[in-house]
């Protein structure tokens, strides 16, 4: 199958076949990272711009390493260093970047729809590395890959996503991604953090973490942003940890082969207890490893690398 | 100079609806009558002056009292690159409006008589449609005190409103209603609970959730509507509620009217035409405040128009340039232009049987005139402010050809049926096609 998409903007616009192709490609890419010499010439001569309006360590590093392992030239631009602070509009910045002929622009922005806007304007491929509360497709793809690796399948699994669903682009992309690949998704959190109309995406909702954890094959915890306390979403971190945090106590209700995931960075002792994060069911660190593989696959597929990565 | 508007269907709601001729002299209507009556070729005056007579053939068309848009934003003074008073008046004339009420959120704010006088001076220079400035409720739209309503009214202000910056202090809103009552000045309220609306960018619901945009709940409007109705009943002052968009607001206004409260209300064509789905693709030309709501809310607005709960169709004409609109959705300014599409969109209501053509003219002309205390109508002795509508003409909206300086409309490229073909203000044709 040929990958025909110019951009990777969200999980909605990817077909089941395209997702499967990305995951299969990522699985091949993963092997490269295990070699003593972790570099193939596949994207030699290609230019990747990492355009991060919003600060990010993990995602940017992951993309940067992915680009370098494929021999592409990667350039990082951050929000504070860009022309943004000089008053240039996003559209103008994008047109200027495009004029320098990069092959892919990886963009993170704190406003929903920013990468969609860019994709409409420029010919360059856009990979959305997170736009506001809207979408984080590369995270969803690496989560799908990690679950598939561990469970051998995605279809038929029950996935619980727990925490601040309202403000989470990871939740939105994973609800769409997992349901598309045949899983059942249940959401849990305080009612203040469950957005209106979320059921339309096909997920069910409970306010009880125990109910969500019970019978789940995968439990995905979401980060609580401490500054959200100011918008009256929850009273204190103490109460949040007690009622909605994933503790060993709540893990008693879980299946014996449950997988614990978290997109990071984690707040130890808030949404997830240290014993759970570091426990035997946790695949949080695998997620990060697979992040590089998925991003290599996406850069390869969008930047139009050689037909066969193993040909070097 | 004599003008005869001949053979049109003259509709002045509750007053006239038949094929008639209208004779106009020196800017005033001098005779109105059936074609076989004195106004026709029988009139001695016409015979005597037939060489100076200008005849406008209105056969097959609808002749109405001049349309009034009681909610527009012309950006002068302050943001003349978006719209000047002159270009706004051109857009109004083009859209069939003979009068507009301009909201006070200019820079400087229209919160004192000098700004009101400036606006009227510019409108006089444009010499197209009548401009009635709405002054601010509070200095600088800051919600901290009362403007000088007496002085403002003397200068020509027709109403007061802190449009866009609703008065949060209920005590100030009470006093504004009471104080305005002393000058029989209408208070227009943009109803919004700012805390509840938060940083929302579109209607709260499934579409916003899927798109990752913060939502604005219906209650942020209806809470404020209910408060202002309570204050209206407390003070016995007249209250006009701007741009109604939700089911709950329509219901609250309907109930208040049943109780006899002196409340009137308007909605805009986009609220009865579009829903939140128009935002799809992060379309900033579908971003406004209040936001486009759900299908159910649109139905409620239609019902409110149909049963008379909503008295007025006003556009909330809000010009913005690409600088404000070609940006991230969250950052984009609220509002769309409406003067040049309002008649066509409203005529769709007549076609669908939601309201009659007489209702439509009432909501776009005689109701706003009554609410504002203006004396117009197709009647002997009244100023000749007249709009002629061709209900059958079909066309495609071309925003590039608009008179407005701005292009921010979600209706570009829409197929329309019916539009204004002639706009006459004080006997002078300010627009004709």
**Which burial class, exposed, middle or buried, applies to A310 when counting CB atoms under 10 A from its CB (0-12, 13-18, 19+)?**
exposed
Mean pLDDT in residue range A98-107: 96
Q: Give the 3-state secondary structure of residue A221.
A: strand
pLDDT at residue B328 greater than cutoff 60: yes
Q: Do A16-135+288-304 and A137-284 agree at the fold level?
A: yes
Mean pLDDT in residue range A187-199: 96
Query: Residue A306: what pLDDT?
Result: 41
| Nearest beta carbon to residue A195 from set B209, B281, B328 | B209
pLDDT at residue B50 greater than cutoff 70: no
Active-site positions of A read: 58-59, 86, 108, 136
**Closest residue on chain B to A134 (Cα):** B212
Asked if A113 lies within 8 A of B209 by C-beta distance, the reply is: no
Which one of A93, A115, A139, A196 makes the best mutation probe of the B interface by having the most chain B beta carbons within 10 Å? A196
Which CA distances in Å does A172 have to A58, A70, A149, A161, B223?
A: 19, 30, 22, 10, 30
- At B34, the pLDDT band (50, 70, 90 cuts) reads confident
Asked if A132 lies within 8 A of B330 by C-beta distance, the reply is: yes
Q: Give the 3-state secondary structure of residue B189.
A: strand
- At A34, the pLDDT band (50, 70, 90 cuts) reads very high
Sign (positive or negative) of CA dihedral B161, B162, B164, B168: negative
Asked if A133 lies within 8 A of B204 by C-beta distance, the reply is: no
Asked if B211 lies within 8 A of A169 by C-beta distance, the reply is: no
Average pLDDT of chain B to the nearest whole number? 96
Query: Residue B304: what pLDDT?
Result: 98
In CATH, the architecture of B66-372 is Alpha-Beta Barrel (3.20)
In the numeric block, which tokens belong to residue B408?
Answer: 């921010």
Which CA distances in Å does B371 have to B69, B255, B317, B375?
A: 12, 19, 19, 10
- Measured in degrees and rounded to the nearest 5, phi and psi for residue B234 equal -65, -40
- Residue pair A298/A127 in contact by the 8 Å Cβ criterion: yes
Of A217, A233, A272, the C-alpha closest to A249 is: A272
| Nearest beta carbon to residue A134 from set B204, B212, B326 | B212
- What is the maximum span of chain A, computed from C-alpha positions, in angstroms? 57
Query: Residue B36: what pLDDT?
Result: 54
Q: Where are the domains of chain B?
A: 2-63+381-432, 66-372
pLDDT at residue A83 greater than cutoff 70: no
Contact residues, chain A to chain B, C-beta under 8 Å: 12, 89-91, 109, 111-114, 116-117, 131-135, 169, 172, 195-201, 231
The CATH number that domain A137-284 falls under is 3.40.50.1370
Q: Of B12, B69, B316, B385, which is the active-site residue?
A: B316
Query: Residue B48: what pLDDT?
Result: 57
Query: Residue B269: what pLDDT?
Result: 98
Sign (positive or negative) of CA dihedral A79, A80, A82, A84: positive
Mean pLDDT in residue range B315-323: 97
* ipTM for the predicted complex: 0.89
Mean pLDDT in residue range B288-294: 98
CATH of B2-63+381-432, one of 3.40.50.1820, 3.90.700.10, 2.30.40.10, 3.40.50.10420: 2.30.40.10
Which one of A53, A90, A111, A122 makes the best mutation probe of the B interface by having the most chain B beta carbons within 10 Å? A111
pLDDT tens digit sequence for A106-148: 999 999 999 999 999 999 999 999 999 999 999 999 999 999 9
Mean pLDDT in residue range A167-174: 97
State the Cα–Cα distance between residues A46 and A102, nearest whole angstrom: 7
State the Cα–Cα distance between residues A231 and A184, nearest whole angstrom: 31
Contacts of A113 in chain B (CB under 8 A): 211-213, 282, 328-329
Considering only A98-107, B26-35, B367-376, which range has the smallest mean pLDDT?
B26-35
Mind telling me how many Å the CA of B393 is from chain A's nearest CA?
Answer: 35
Average pLDDT of chain A to the nearest whole number? 93
Which CA distances in Å does A108 have to A59, A69, A76, A120, B284?
A: 9, 21, 11, 16, 20
- Measured in degrees and rounded to the nearest 5, phi and psi for residue A139 equal -65, -45
pLDDT tens digit sequence for B240-257: 999 999 999 999 999 999
Contacts of A197 in chain B (CB under 8 A): 205-210
Q: Where are the domains of chain A?
A: 16-135+288-304, 137-284
- Measured in degrees and rounded to the nearest 5, phi and psi for residue A84 equal -50, -45
Asked if B329 lies within 8 A of A201 by C-beta distance, the reply is: no
Query: How would you label A137-174 residue by residue, b for 16+ Cβ within 10 Å and e otherwise?
Result: bbbbbbbbbbbbbbbeebeebbbbbbbbbbbbbbbbbb
> How many helices (H) and strands (E) would you count in chain B?
15, 18
Mind telling me how many Å the CA of B197 is from chain A's nearest CA?
Answer: 12
pLDDT tens digit sequence for A275-312: 999 999 999 999 999 999 999 999 999 997 543 444 34
- Measured in degrees and rounded to the nearest 5, phi and psi for residue A218 equal -135, 135
Query: Residue A304: what pLDDT?
Result: 79
Percent of chain B with pLDDT over 90: 95
**Closest residue on chain B to A93 (Cα):** B327
| Nearest beta carbon to residue A196 from set B215, B328, B330 | B215
Asked if A197 lies within 8 A of B212 by C-beta distance, the reply is: no
Asked if A134 lies within 8 A of B211 by C-beta distance, the reply is: yes
- At B179, the pLDDT band (50, 70, 90 cuts) reads very high
Q: Give the 3-state secondary structure of residue A228.
A: helix
Q: Report the Cα A234 to chain-centroid distance in Å.
A: 25
pLDDT tens digit sequence for B195-216: 999 999 999 999 999 999 999 9
Mean pLDDT in residue range A54-68: 94
- Residue B419: strand pairing partners: B390
| Nearest beta carbon to residue B209 from set A111, A197, A231 | A197
Mean pLDDT in residue range A26-34: 96
Q: What is the pTM of this model?
A: 0.93
Mean pLDDT in residue range B22-47: 75
pLDDT at residue A230 greater than cutoff 80: no
Query: Residue B1: what pLDDT?
Result: 81
Contacts of B287 in chain A (CB under 8 A): none
Which CA distances in Å does B201 have to A228, B79, B111, B286?
A: 18, 23, 28, 11
The CATH number that domain A16-135+288-304 falls under is 3.40.50.1370
Asked if A90 lies within 8 A of B327 by C-beta distance, the reply is: yes
Of A151, A111, A106, the C-alpha closest to A133 is: A111
In the numeric block, which tokens belong to residue B35?
Answer: 């074609």
- At A151, the pLDDT band (50, 70, 90 cuts) reads very high
């Amino acid at each position: 199958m040929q990958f025909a998409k110019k951009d990777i903007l969200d999980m909605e616009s990817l077909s089941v076949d395209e997702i499967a192709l990305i995951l299969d490609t990522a699985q091949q890419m993963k092997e490269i990272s295990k070699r003593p010499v972790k570099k193939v010439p596949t994207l030699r001569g290609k230019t990747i711009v990492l355009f991060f309006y919003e600060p990010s360590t993990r995602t940017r590093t992951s993309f940067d390493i992915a680009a370098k392992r494929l021999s592409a030239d990667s350039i990082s631009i951050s929000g504070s260093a860009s022309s943004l602070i000089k008053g240039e509009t996003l559209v103008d910045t994008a047109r200027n970047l495009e004029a320098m002929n990069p092959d892919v622009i990886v963009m993170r922005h704190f406003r929903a729809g920013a990468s969609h806007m860019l994709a409409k304007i420029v010919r360059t491929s856009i990979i959305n590395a997170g736009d506001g509360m809207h979408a984080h497709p590369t995270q969803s793809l690496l989560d799908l890959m990690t679950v598939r690796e561990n469970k051998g399948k995605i279809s038929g699994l029950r996935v619980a996503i727990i925490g601040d669903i309202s403000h989470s682009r990871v939740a939105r992309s994973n609800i769409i991604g997992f349901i598309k690949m045949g899983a059942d998704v249940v959401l849990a959190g305080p009612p203040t953090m469950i957005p209106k109309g979320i059921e339309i995406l096909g997920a069910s909702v409970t306010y009880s973490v125990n109910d969500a954890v019970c019978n789940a094959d995968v439990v995905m915890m979401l980060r609580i942003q401490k500054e959200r306390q100011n918008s009256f979403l929850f009273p204190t971190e103490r109460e949040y940890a007690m009622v909605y945090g994933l503790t060993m106590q709540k893990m008693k209700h879980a299946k014996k082969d449950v997988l614990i995931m978290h997109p990071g960075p984690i707040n130890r002792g808030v949404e997830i207890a240290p014993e759970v994060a570091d426990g035997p069911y946790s695949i949080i660190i695998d997620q990060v490893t697979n992040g590089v593989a998925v991003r290599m696959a996406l850069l390869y597929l969008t930047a139009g690398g050689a037909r066969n990565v193993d040909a070097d | 100079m004599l003008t005869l508007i001949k053979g049109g269907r003259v509709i002045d709601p509750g007053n006239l609806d038949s094929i008639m001729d209208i004779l106009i002299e020196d800017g005033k209507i001098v005779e109105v009558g059936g074609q076989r009556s004195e106004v026709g070729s029988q009139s001695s005056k016409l015979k005597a002056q037939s060489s100076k007579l200008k005849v406008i053939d209105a056969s097959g068309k609808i002749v109405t009292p001049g349309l009034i848009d009681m909610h527009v934003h012309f950006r002068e003074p302050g943001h003349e690159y978006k719209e000047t008073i002159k270009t706004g008046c051109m857009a109004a004339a083009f859209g069939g409006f003979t009068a507009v009420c301009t909201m006070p959120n200019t820079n400087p704010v229209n919160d004192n008589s000098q700004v009101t006088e400036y606006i009227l001076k510019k409108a006089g220079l444009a010499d197209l449609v009548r401009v009635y400035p709405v002054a601010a409720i509070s200095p600088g739209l800051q919600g901290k005190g009362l403007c000088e309503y007496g002085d403002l009214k003397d200068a020509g202000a027709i109403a007061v409103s802190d449009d866009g910056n609703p008065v949060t202090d209920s005590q100030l809103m009470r006093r504004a209603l009471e104080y305005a009552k002393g000058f029989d000045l209408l208070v227009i309220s943009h109803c919004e609970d700012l805390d509840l609306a938060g940083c929302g960018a579109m209607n709260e619901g499934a579409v916003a959730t899927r798109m990752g945009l913060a939502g604005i709940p219906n209650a942020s409007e209806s809470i404020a509507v209910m408060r202002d109705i309570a204050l209206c009943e407390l003070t016995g002052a007249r209250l006009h509620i701007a741009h109604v968009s939700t089911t709950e607001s329509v219901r609250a206004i309907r109930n208040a009217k049943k109780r006899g409260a002196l409340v009137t209300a308007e909605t805009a064509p986009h609220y009865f035409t579009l829903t939140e789905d128009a935002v799809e693709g992060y379309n900033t030309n579908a971003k406004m405040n209040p936001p486009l709501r759900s299908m159910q809310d649109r139905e409620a607005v239609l019902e409110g128009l149909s049963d008379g709960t909503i008295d007025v169709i006003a556009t909330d004409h809000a010009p913005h340039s690409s600088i404000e609109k070609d940006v991230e959705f969250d950052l984009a300014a609220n509002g769309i232009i409406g003067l040049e599409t309002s008649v066509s969109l409203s005529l769709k209501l007549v076609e669908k049987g939601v309201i009659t053509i007489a209702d439509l003219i009432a909501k776009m002309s005689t109701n706003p005139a009554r609410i504002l205390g203006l004396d117009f109508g197709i009647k002997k002795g009244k100023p000749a402010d007249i709009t002629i509508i061709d209900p059958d003409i079909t066309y495609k909206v071309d925003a590039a050809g608009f008179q407005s300086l701005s292009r921010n409309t979600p209706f570009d490229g829409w197929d329309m049926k019916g539009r204004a073909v002639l706009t006459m203000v004080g006997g002078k044709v300010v627009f004709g096609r």
